[in-house]
Amino acid sequence: MADSPAHSSDAILSAARASLNDQRAGGRRMATGKPIGQRSAALRRSSQKRKAVALGLSVVVAIMLVNLVIGLLSGLLHLLGWLASGAGVALLLAVIWMLLRDRAVTVPSLENLRASPPRQLVGQTQLWLEAQRSALPAPALDLVGQIGGQLDGLALQLDRVDENAPAVGQVRQLVGQHLPDLVKAYTDIPPALRGAEHAGASPDQQLTQGLARLSGELDSVTRQLAEGKLDNLAIQSRFIDYKYGDTPEG
């Protein structure tokens, strides 16, 4: 009787409520469409810009070609030629729009992700995570959003830190390896089995727990990277105390 609808009504109801809330908030399309961080957003923007420039150039070339052909013709054909070129331009614009809308940026593969230099790693990981979102359960999605924000903070720190600092190696491992490995291990599981209990917890739970841990670790790494700056201010104020304050020197 365990499978009877009456027995699992609570679960069904709560799932329905969650689904309703989700849809009200814009649904999965909305949640998974937005970039999770500024770095990935910037990567998307720059990639769109590059594509737009390339397409724009090809449009100009196409128009010039059309005009060249038209220039060779004359008389009545002239007017017809202009109409044809107008139609051609409209068609090209439609193609551009289609191309820009979808897959504006290439999502890195795991291998490329790991090979990217520390400063670009964060943006790449954000892009990769965004691409995985459609496969992740709802609570993990929230965490991925949170991690996206944390990665932005981390990227700001990384920009100002020496690439050989010990913490940078830690970031590499965390952002380039442990985080994607965890998500990949989850997405490798057939969807039907992701809710079933295995080794003490369901894959859904394990993923969520793992992501929460990693989120905590990201926090502490970011703090570690900022420590030099925090120390610096403390040292300066202590020095000023020594030099101009009432405390005896040294």
- Integer angstrom CA distances of residue 13 from 5, 18, 64, 139, 249: 11, 9, 62, 17, 71
Contact range with another protein by CB under 8 A, out of 26-34, 90-98, 189-197, 230-238 = 230-238
Binding status of residue 209 toward another protein by CB under 8 A: yes
Question: Binding segment for another protein among 14-22, 93-101, 151-159, 237-245 (CB under 8 A)?
Answer: 237-245
- Which position has the token pair 């992740």? 136
* Residue among 82 and 242 whose Cβ is closer to another protein: 242
Question: Tokens 């970011």 appear where?
Answer: 222
Query: Per-residue string for binding with another protein, 183-202, x by CB under 8 A?
Result: -----------------x--
Q: Is 249 in the site for another protein (CB under 8 A)?
A: yes
Residue from 153, 59, 47 nearest 102 by CA: 47
- Could you tell me which of 218, 217, 225 has the C-alpha nearest to residue 158? 225
Q: Which is nearer to another protein, 101 or 243 (CB)?
A: 243
Q: Angle 8-11-13 (CA atoms, 0-180°, nearest 5)?
A: 105
Q: Which residues bind another protein (CB under 8 A)?
A: 166, 178, 182, 200, 206, 209-210, 213-214, 217, 231, 234-236, 238-239, 241-243, 249-250
